[in-house]
Amino acid sequence: MSNISKLLKWITFTLEAFFAIPLIGGAYILSHGWLPLGIALLLHIAAIISLLKDRRSIIGNGLGVIASIVGIIPIIGWLMHGITAIVLLIEAITGSRNRPQV
């Protein structure tokens, strides 16, 4: 995985984990007029493009795109951000290991 892909994976994980904090994440999103969801959407799309070039898993960032879209729905958005953060963490940890190239 390239350094850009790793960085984007960790940034999007951190963002999703913050959004998943009960009350705090939602209050932050609402106080900024849902702009953080748009920024997260753009970051997830950039990560997907970078990961596709590296032939790595895009599942976590794909979930992030969905979470950014449905994030305006209070409980569903919170749940999606939490699930996305967990998947991104797992992908970031397993993707950062050195694997032999085939």
Predicted confidence (pLDDT) per residue in 9-58, tens digit: 999 999 999 999 999 998 999 999 999 999 999 999 999 999 999 999 99
Q: Which amino acid is at 3?
A: N
Predicted TM-score (pTM) of the model is 0.88
Residue appearing with tokens 């797992």: 90
- Backbone phi and psi for residue 32, each to the nearest 5 degrees, phi listed first: -105, 20
Gap between the Cα atoms of 59 and 94, Å rounded: 13
Gap between the Cα atoms of 79 and 93, Å rounded: 22
Interior angle at CA 79, CA 72 and CA 60, nearest 5: 95
Mean pLDDT of 67-90: 94
Q: Which amino acid is at 87?
A: V
